[in-house]
Amino acid sequence: MANSKQIAKPKRSFPDWLRSRDGQKVLVMVAFMIVPLVLLFVFTYLPFGQMFGFSFYNMKYIGARKFVGLKNYSKVFSRKDCFGALKLSLYYMLGSVVQLGIALYLATILSFKVKGGNVFKGLMFFPFLINGIAIGFIFKFFYTRGFVFDTVLQWCGFQLDNLPYWLRDQRINNFSLVGTSVWRYFGQNMVLFIGAIMSVDSELYEAATLDGANRFQQFKYIILPSIKTIITLNVILSITGSLSAFEPPYVITDGANGTGTYFVVMHEIAHTQQKVGLASAMAIVLLIIILIVTGLQKLFFKYVFKSGEDEDPRAAIKREKQLARISSRKGGAAV
Amino acid sequence: MKKTNEQAIAGRIIWMIIQYVSLLFFSFVAVIPVVSCVITAFKTDTEYQNTNVMTLPESWLNFENYIRAFDKANMGRGFINSAIILVCVLLISTFIGTQLAYVLDRFKFFGNGLIRNLFLFASQLPGVAMQVALYEIMYKLHFINSMVGYIILMCGTDIISIYIYIQFFENIDYSLDESAIVDGANYFTIFYKILLPLLKPAIVTSCILKGVGTYNEYYCANLYLQDKTRVNTVATSLYTFVGPLGSKYNLICAGVIISLLPALIVFITCQKQIYSGLTQGAVKG
C-alpha cells in the first residue's frame, strides 16, 4: 500500500490523467498487485536465482565462499547418496498407482447411494488433515516391533517371529514408508474423484439404472469417461510428486537404513552439514528434471486431450449410444 | 428368464456385501493408527509398559498424559502462537489474494497471462528445495525466530486460493461492474463495496483450506522458528518429543492427539467446504 502512494506522487503533475479512467485503472492495478508480486519475487524467484548462483560455490550460510565451477554438479552425479537416491522414487510411484486405484474404487462405491456413506468418507479423508510431525510419531509408534501393526497382524493369525522389522529391514522399510503416504492421501484423492463423478449429470445414472445397466457398466461407460481427465492429471502429478518425495522418510526414519530419498539427503546436506553449494546443485538438478518431466506431460496432455476437447460433444454422443446399446441389450434379455 | 432375475438379485447382494466390506476395511485402515494413539494416550506409565498397545486402558478418564504433554511441549505457547499466525496469515492472504484475483480477472493488460504463469510455475517448485536458498534470505532479513517473518513467508504464493477466487469472479457478471462505473464508482469502491461481499463463500472455502494448511505447516516453522520455548507453533512443539522422550509413547500420543484436535473440530464443522474447496482447487490447478 505504501508503494502505491510513492508511485502516485510523481503522477500528481498529471492530476487529470490520474483522475481519468485510465489513470484509475493503472492505480488500482498497481495497488492491488504490488504486494503479492513482491512476495512472489522475494520468496520464490529471488531464492531460485540465488540457488543457481550458490550451486557454483563451495560455501556455508555464513563465512567465506569459494568459486568451484561445476564441481558441485559432478559431485551430485558421482556421489552415491545423491543421484542414486532418486531410485527410491520408484517405490513412491508404485505407491501412488496403488493409492489412485484404491481411491477410484472407493469413490465409485461412494458415489452411489450407500448407507453411512458420509461417515465412511469422513473417516477415510481425515488422515489428510493431520500435521506431518504427528504423522511421523503415529507411524513410528505404529510400526514399532510388537506394537500396533504387529498386533493387528497377529489378530489375523501371523506369528510375531515371522514378521520383519518394518522400519529397519531394508527389504521392506521403503514399502512401509510408502504405505504411510498412501494412508494419508487415498482419502483426499477419493474426495477429488467423488467430486468429479458428481459433476456428471445425475440423470445419466438414473437413466442407466432404469435401463438396467449394472454397476460395472455404469462405471465403464459413464464414470470412467467423465473422470478421465482428472485421473490422468493425478497420475501425472504423482510422477513429479514421487521424484520429490520427502515427508514420510523425513518425519519417520530421518532417512536412516536406506530410506533417504533425494530431498531428504539434500535437506541433510543443506541444513545439517551446511554444504549449501552442493545442496543447491542437487536442488537445481532435480528442478531441471521436474521441469523436463512437466514439459513432457504438457505435450502429452496436448496430444491426448487437445483433440479430446474438440471431440467432447462427439464423445458424449458416443457414450449415449453405448448406453443405448447396453440398455437395448439388457432390455432384450429381460423381456 | 426367472433364472436371470435371480442371478441379478444374487449379483446385487454380492456386490452390496463387497461394497460394505471394502468400506469397512479401508475405514479401519484409515482409523487404526489414530485410534491406537488414543488408546495409548489414556494409559499410565506402568500400564503402558505392561500391556499390549491395543489393550484398552483401565480408565478412559486418565487425562494425566495430556496435561503432562501439554506442559512438557509448551503447547500453551504453541496454541497462542498458532492462533496469532493463523489470524494474520488468513487476513493478509485473503486481502491480497482477492485483490490479485480481481485485477487478473477484470483487467485485460499486457502481462496478465505472464503473471498467472509466474504464480503457476512457482507452485510447481518443491518447497523443500527452495528453502536451501531461502534460508539465507530469511537470515539476511532477520526473519529467523521472528513470528512476523514467518507470517510474511506464509502469506506468499498460494495458487489454489487465487484460482478459487478467479473462478468465482468469472461467475460474477461483468455488467455489475459496468453499471457501477456508469454510476460513477471508482474501482476501489467496486471491489470493496460490491464484489468483496459477493465473494464471501469463496473466501470461507479458501480460508478453511489455507487455515488447515497453515496450522499443519511444520517444515518452515521448524527451520525458521528455531527457539522452541518462545516461537513454537502447535506442530513444532511436538519436536520436544524427539530425543530422550522418544520412547514414552503414552506421553507422545497424548501430545499428538492434542495437536490434531483443532483440525478435527474444523473438519467436523466444515466438512462440506473442505471437500468442495479441494475439488475446485484441483480441477483448475
Domain extents in chain B: 2-50, 78-238+259-284
Burial class (CB in 10 A: 0-12, 13-18, 19+), B93: buried
The whole-number average pLDDT for the span B184-195 is 89
With 50 as the cut, is the pLDDT of residue B208 above it?
yes
Q: What is the pLDDT of residue A223?
A: 81
Is residue A3 predicted with pLDDT exceeding 90? no
Which residue reads 474423484 in cell numbers? Answer: A193
Amino acid sitting at position B238: L
Determine the pLDDT at residue B267.
94
What's the pLDDT band for A330 if we cut at 50, 70, 90? very low
pLDDT confidence bin for B203, thresholds 50/70/90: very high
User: Is residue A201 scored above 80 in pLDDT?
Assistant: no
DSSP H or E segment with residue A205: helix A202-210
More confident site: A220 or B240:
B240
Q: B interface mutation test: which of A129, A200, A234, A335 has the most B CBs within 10 A?
A: A129
With a CB cutoff of 8 Å and minimum separation 6, the contacts of A232 are A301, A304, A305
In this predicted structure, the answer to whether residue A320 has a pLDDT above a threshold of 80 is no
> What value of ipTM does the predicted structure carry?
0.91
Judged by a CB distance cut-off of 8 A, whether residue A61 touches chain B is yes
pLDDT band at A190 (very low <50, low <70, confident <90, very high): very high
- Contact across the interface for B54 and A287, Cβ inside 8 Å: no
Give residue A20's pLDDT band: very low, low, confident or very high (50, 70, 90).
confident
In this predicted model, what pLDDT tens digit does every residue of B217-229 receive, in sequence order?
999 999 999 998 8
The answer, yes or no, to whether residue B248 has pLDDT greater than 70, is yes
Does B48 contact chain A (CB < 8 Å)? Answer: no
Average pLDDT, chain A: 84
* Sequence letter at residue B159: I
Residue B241 has pLDDT above 80, yes or no: yes
Tell me, what's the pLDDT at B182?
87
pLDDT value at residue B195: 92
The confidence score (pLDDT) of residue B93 equals 92
Q: Which residues contact B116 (CB under 8 A, 6 or more apart)?
A: B104
Which chain B residues contact residue A279 at CB under 8 A? 132
Pairwise pLDDT comparison (B163 vs A248), residue with the higher score: A248
Total Cβ atoms within 10 A of residue A298: 11
Which residues of chain B does A238 touch, with a Cβ-Cβ cutoff of 8 Å? none
Q: Is B128 on the interface with A (CB under 8 A)?
A: yes
What span, in angstroms and rounded, lies between the C-alpha atoms of A30 and B178? 21
What percent of chain A is modeled with pLDDT above 70?
Answer: 87
For domain B78-238+259-284, the question of CATH label 1.10.3720.10 is answered with yes
pLDDT exceeds 50 at position A316:
yes
Whether residue A196 and residue B279 make contact (CB cut-off 8 A), yes or no, is yes
**Taking 70 as the threshold, does the pLDDT of residue A327 lie above it?**
no
Q: Which of A214, A212, A215, A217 is nearest to A334 (CA)?
A: A212
Cell numbers standing for residue B208? 478453511
Tell me which residues of chain B, numbers 231 to 250, contact chain A at a CB-CB cutoff of 8 Å. 234-236, 238-239, 241, 249
Inform me whether the pLDDT recorded for A310 exceeds 90. no
pLDDT for position B36:
95
Higher pLDDT, B127 or B36: B36
The pLDDT assigned to B125 comes to 85
Half-sphere exposure of A21 (CA within 13 A, CB side): 5
Q: Assign A67 to helix, strand or coil.
A: strand
pLDDT digits over B39-71, tens only? 999 999 999 989 888 899 998 999 999 999 999
For the ranges A13-17, A238-242, B61-65, the one whose mean pLDDT is highest? B61-65
pLDDT tens string B257-267: 999 999 999 99
Mutation to test the A interface, candidates B114, B120, B128, most A Cβ within 10 Å: B128
* Residue position matching grid coordinates 457478471: B173
- pLDDT of amino acid A204: 78
Residue A65 forms beta bridges with which residues? A59
CB contact under 8 A, A151 and B54: yes
Of A5-14, B9-18, B225-234, minimum mean pLDDT range: A5-14
Chain A stretch 154-183, residues whose beta carbon is closer than 8 A to a beta carbon of chain B: 183
Chain A: closest CA distance from residue B30 (Å) = 5
Chain A residues whose CB is inside 8 A of the B239 CB are 133
Q: A109 is written with which cell numbers?
A: 462405491
What mean pLDDT comes out for the span B237-252?
88
* Residues found in chain A: 335
CB contacts of B223 in chain A (<8 Å) are 271
CB atoms within 10 A of CB A188: 21
Among the ranges given (A75-79, A292-296, B19-23), the one the predictor scored with the smallest mean pLDDT: A292-296
- Compute the distance between CA of residue B192 and CA of residue B161 in angstroms, rounded to an integer: 18
**Crossing angle of helices B159-170 and B112-124, rounded to 10°:** 140
pLDDT value of residue A1: 43
Tell me the three cell numbers of residue A52. Answer: 543457481
Chain B contact for A11 (CB, 8 A cutoff) = no
**A318 has pLDDT over 60:** no
Helices (H), chain B: 2-41, 45-50, 64-72, 75-106, 112-124, 127-140, 147-154, 159-170, 174-182, 187-189, 196-198, 200-216, 219-224, 234-237, 249-284
pLDDT for B269 equals 93
Per-residue pLDDT at A13: 65
The residue with greater pLDDT, A306 or B152, is B152
Q: Any idea which fold A78-334 has? A: MetI-like fold (1.10.3720)
Structural domain boundaries in chain A:
2-54, 78-334
> Where is pLDDT greater, at A17 or A73?
A73
Host H or E run for residue A57: strand A57-59
Q: Does B267 contact A126 at a Cβ distance shorter than 8 Å?
A: yes
